Chains A and B, each alone.
Chain A
């Protein structure tokens, strides 16, 4: 009994001892004045984070229902406005699935970063929905898409060679975003988000001007960010290609009336193809492209590895190490704030240099993978051009259709059955 009491007393004293030892006490006031307490205002309630997830599920389900079952362009439009207001202006566009790519990349390669569940969920759920219903996320849930969609007043038809070339940009942005996030260098997708300054109603002049430029372009070119830049679209394109159900232009059998041909502002409608003319020529081209693919991948990988070193300068620690080295070897005479701060921490230089060597290694490997990925993308696109695909009716291209529903009104076919199957 005595021992337990002693133990309890020790346990009670210990925290006090740990606390009192280091700090020099404030003066004792004769008037008995009490010290004020430093306030610690809390961040946004956690419950609201989970509410966001629920809203995401609800809007995704509603969008899928409106696009596939109800086929209501009006419904999708108003849902888009709601998403813009909630996810955009209310939640200020953060955290979003597009940015979540970076969090996942960082988490994969940096053991010390543990992503919150909400971020993982925001990344996975739209992809899961796309796997079954197509790109309904893009239709009315993504606030970036919604803001561009609403301002589209006079869509121009983008020539297909421009469309396809610019489409490669999105793959580059995706690869760069993953590379910089995985190496812990930067979150460029967040940094260059054009519309976030509108959502936050504040920002630097640069980002506001970029946003305005995008909106101006978006008035005439349909959804420029979604089609040519959005990194998440890479994953959405892939999952949509494999989706179980998808938006179809005709609710039943297409009668080839051609009324919907120019109805898509995003160039996602594919015409029925003509009969094959030169099958031999086609096969030769296809074989050439298939053979070219590994060459492109290899070239890309080589280029990527050598681009690794200049790219690594995006990482602040790499720049710091370089600066410290230049100052120590006398190549520069004055110091910068980062180098001053570093010297003040008394962290051994060798530790910094070793860390930077590791980062450069990651950039070399990552750069190679990135370059190879770009080569793969270009090669696949070339193969795609050489492939002859037989189409008998007008259909929405699975990877580029954003399920906006504008084409529904053009189709004269009456709705007879439920979701049109693959």
Chain B
């Protein structure tokens, strides 16, 4: 009986030892990150200057319709009649006919402002984030259209599938308080 009691207390001792070591370990982890934790969450975002408009944003998101959409920086736009992000390279006519448009889903709205300026806005319910308009705008125009992760849709996965697939490594984690990386934001 005493043998058993000895064995039991030996087990107790080992157990307490393990518990003490684990507590120390956990305490150590907490201490390590005491100064280095950030209060706010991190969210994913695209750096538009690294993006190569490859099209992977549209089919790699875990969501059915990607959380990445094209956004328009209206301050950079030229409001051109022949918008190279809206029209394909050889349009039949400069009107809203579907065969003239670059966007396969017709997600860009073209509205006349005054001669010769037109305004182009993105319909996010149609946009899938393929980046075709972005490529057209960037290559031939002012580059005011670019892709961004929209945070009313993004699930903020710990391991973003698009980030993993992006050939240009354009995805980065940004603080919750500044969830967008627009073009022409210095620094």
Contact = CB atoms under 8 A, between A and B. Distances in A.
A and B directly contacting (CB within 8 A): yes
Interface of A: 18, 22-27, 29-31, 33, 35-44, 46, 49, 92, 94-95, 99, 102-104, 107-108, 113-118, 120, 123-124, 127-128, 131, 186-187, 190-191, 197, 200, 202-204, 238-239, 241-244, 316-317, 336-338, 340-342, 344-345, 390, 392, 422
B157 A94 contact: yes
A317 B168 CA distance: 10
A339 to B, nearest CB: 9
Closest 3 CB pairs of A and B: A242-B18, A187-B159, A242-B19
A296 B145 CA distance: 58
Contacts of A128: 26
Contact of B164 (A191, A203, A336): A191
Given A103-B158, A422-B12, A26 B62 contact: no
Given A26-B76, A341-B167, A344-B52, 15 more contacts: A23-B75, A27-B79, A33-B113, A33-B119, A35-B75, A36-B119, A43-B151, A116-B38, A123-B29, A190-B159, A203-B62, A204-B62, A243-B19, A338-B168, A340-B167
Interface residues of B, number: 67
A372 B117 CA distance: 68
A202 B63 contact: yes
B36 interface: yes
Interface stretch (B82-90, B97-105, B176-184): B176-184
B30 A120 contact: yes
B41 A92 contact: no
Given A31-B114, A42-B152, A42-B179, A116 B159 contact: no
Nearest to B33: A120
B23 A392 contact: no
B74 A120 contact: no
Nearest to B170: A341
Given A42-B152, A43-B176, A107-B33, A27 B117 contact: yes
Given A128-B26, A341-B52, A202 B64 contact: yes
Given A40-B179, A94-B156, A99-B158, A23 B76 contact: yes
A41 B121 contact: no
Nearest to A49: B41
A114 B40 CA distance: 10
B54 A337 contact: yes
Interface string B12-34: 10011111111100100110110
Contacts of B33: 107, 115, 120
B52 A26 contact: no
Nearest to A337: B167
B37 A115 contact: yes
B179 A43 contact: yes
A392 B4 contact: yes
A37 B121 CA distance: 10
A171 B179 CA distance: 36
Contacts of B39: 116-117
Interface in B32-75: 32-33, 36-43, 50, 52, 54, 62-64, 71-75
Nearest to A336: B167
Nearest to A115: B37
B51 to A, nearest CB: 9
A390 B7 contact: yes
B74 A43 contact: no
B79 A22 contact: no
A104 B19 contact: no
A341 B164 contact: no
B32 A108 contact: yes
Specify which of A38, A107, A124, A390 lies most central, judged by the most chain B CB atoms within 10 Å of its CB: A38
Given A341-B52, A390-B7, A26 B77 contact: yes
Interface string B153-165: 0111111000010
A108 B18 CA distance: 23
A354 B169 CA distance: 18
11 contacts: A24-B76, A38-B73, A43-B179, A44-B156, A46-B176, A94-B158, A114-B36, A131-B19, A131-B22, A200-B63, A345-B168
A107 B52 CA distance: 29
A69 B183 CA distance: 58
A127 B169 CA distance: 34
Nearest to A187: B159
A202 B52 contact: no
B121 A114 contact: no
Contact of B186 (A22, A30, A131): A22
Contacts of B30: 120, 124
Contacts of A23: 75-76, 184
Contact of A26 (B4, B32, B79, B176): B79
Interface in B131-169: 142, 150-152, 154-159, 164, 167-169
A43 B174 CA distance: 12
B113 A29 contact: yes
A36 B121 contact: yes
A26 B182 CA distance: 17
Contacts of A115: 33, 36-38
A239 B26 CA distance: 10
Nearest to B117: A27
